[in-house]
Amino acid sequence: MKTIAGTTGADRRVDPRPPARSLLLSKSASRWQRTASFLGQGFLFLVTAFSAASILFIFYYIFRDALPFFQLRGVAEFFSSTKWYPTGSPPEFGALAIFFGSGLVTLGAVVVAVPLGVAAAVCLSDVLPFGLRQAVKPVIEILAAIPSVAYGFFALVVLAPLLQSQGGPILAVTAWCVGAPLLLLSSVVIGDLSTARLAGPKARALRLGVTFALILIGGFGLWRLGITLKAVEVSSGTNALNVSLILGIMALPTIVSVSEDAIQATGRDLREGSYALGATRAETLLKVIIPAASSGILAAVILGIMRAIGETMVVWMASGNAAQIPSPWLNFLEPVRTLTATIAGDMGEADHVTGSARYHVLFAMAACLLLISFLCNLASEQVRRRTLRKIEGA
C-alpha cells in the first residue's frame, strides 16, 4: 500500500484560505438542482418537440380539409378524369391532366438538371483546382438563393417571348450543341471497338473509314433534324419546355451540392486504387467513383425532384396553366398546368366558400403533394443513411 504515513508535515501546508465551499450538497439544494435541471431540459425538449410537431400539424390540417372533397365527390373522378371544370355546372374535378402536368415538368427538369448537375458535381470534386472550386461555390449558392418569383418573372418576361419568336432556331441550335459532340464521340468509340481485333496498317485505315462513315451518316441525320426543328413554331412561349428549363436550373444547386458531397465521401483510396491500375480519370470516375457514390447521387436526384415538383411561382407564371394533356404526350411545347399552380391560382376565388368541393379539392391536391414530398424525403433519408452505413462499414 503506497500511502503516506502521518499527518504532521506542517511545513508543506497549503496557504491559509477562506473556508472552502462544501463539496456535499445539502438535501434541499440537491433536490432544487435536480428539479431545475429537469424543468430546464423539459422546456428545451418541449420547444424542440413542438418544432418537430409542426409537420404533424401540417399533415392533420391539410388532410382534414382534403377528406371532405373525397366524401363529396369520391376518388375515381379526381384521379382518372381529365375534365377540370371546377366552375362549370355541374362542376367537374378531374385532375389527371394536372397530375400529368406536374409530372411532365418535373420530368423535363430532371432531364435538364441531372446530367448537368452530376457532371458539374464530378467536375467540382475531382477536376477543378481548389481555387476555381472556391470561385464556383458562390455561383451555386447564389443560384440557389434567387427567389423563385424572380425565376418565374424571368421565365415569363424574358424567356417566354424569346421562345415564342425564336423557338425553332433555339431548338435546332440546342440539338446541334448536344448532338454533335455525342455523335463525334460515339463515332470514334464505335470505330475503335469495331476494329479492335484487327492489327496492322489496314486496321488503321479501316478504323478511320468506319469513323468517318459514321460521322457522315450521323451528321446528315443531325442536319435533317436541325432543319425539322428549325421549322417548328412555338405557339406560346409559356409552355412545359420553358418551365422545365427554369425548374432544371433551380434544381441544379441542390443536385450539385448533394452529389458533390457524396462523390467526395467516397474517399481517396478508391481513386488511387483505380489510377494504380492505369485507368484514366474519366474511367475512374465513371466506373468506380460514381457507382460508389450512386446512392448519394440518387438522394440528390430525389431532392432535386422534390424541389421541382413543389415549386409554385415559376409554373404558375410560365406554364400556360392549361389543364390538358399535351398531344402527343411528350410535347413540351404545349402549355400545361400543375398541382401547385392550380392551388395557388384557384384558392383566391375559392377561399370564401369553405365547405364547397371547389375549396376542398385544392386541399386534396395539397395532400397529394404533401404525400409525394414526404415519401421522397423518407426515400432520400433512407438512401443517405444506407450510404453512411456503407462508408462506416468500409
Q: Tell the smallest beta-carbon distance from residue 192 to another protein (Å).
A: 4
Of the candidates 323, 378, 304, 352, the residue with the CA atom closest to the CA atom of residue 86: 323
Cα separation, 30 vs 16, whole angstroms: 29
Determine phi and psi for 118, rounding to 5 degrees: -65, -45
Closest CA to 218 of 175, 179, 173: 179
Q: Compare residues 53 and 394 and give the one whose CB is closer to another protein.
A: 53
Strand pairing partners for 84?
93
Nearer to another protein, 58 or 80 (CB): 58
Are the beta carbons of 367 and 63 closer than 8 angstroms?
Answer: yes
Q: Could you tell me which of 376, 207, 209 has the C-alpha nearest to residue 299?
A: 376
**CB closer to another protein, 233 vs 269:** 233
Q: Does 124 bind another protein (CB under 8 A)?
A: yes
CB of 75 to another protein, least distance (A): 20
Please report whether residue 377 would count as binding another protein according to CB under 8 A.
Answer: yes
Instruction: Tell me the window of 68-76, 84-92, 147-155, 260-268 that interacts with another protein (CB under 8 A).
Output: 147-155
Instruction: Tell me which residues in 78-107 interact with another protein (CB under 8 A).
Output: none
Sign of CA dihedral 30, 33, 37, 42: positive
Question: What residues numbered 16-45 form the site for another protein, per CB under 8 A?
Answer: 17, 20-25, 29-30, 37, 40-41, 44-45
Q: Which is nearer to another protein, 89 or 197 (CB)?
A: 197
Considering only residues 192 through 221, tell me which ones interact with another protein, judged by CB under 8 A.
192-193, 196
Question: 228-257: which residues touch another protein (CB under 8 A)?
Answer: 233, 235, 249, 252, 256
- Closer residue to another protein, CB minimum distance, 97 or 317: 317
Q: Which of 39, 111, 150, 198 binds another protein (CB under 8 A)?
A: 150
- 348: part of which helix (H) or strand (E)? helix 339-350
Q: Which of 276, 348, 392, 393 binds another protein (CB under 8 A)?
A: 348
Shortest distance (Å) from residue 57 CB to another protein = 6
CA distance 6 to 4: 7
Q: Does 69 bind another protein (CB under 8 A)?
A: no
Q: Does 143 contact another protein by CB under 8 A?
A: yes
Bridge partners for 93 per DSSP: 84
Question: How far is Cα 348 from Cα 84, in angstroms, rounded to an integer?
Answer: 17
Binding of another protein at residue 388 (CB under 8 A)?
no
Does 51 participate in binding another protein (rule CB under 8 A)? yes
Report how far residue 250's alpha carbon sits from residue 15's, in angstroms, rounded to the nearest whole number: 70
Amino acid residing at 56:
L
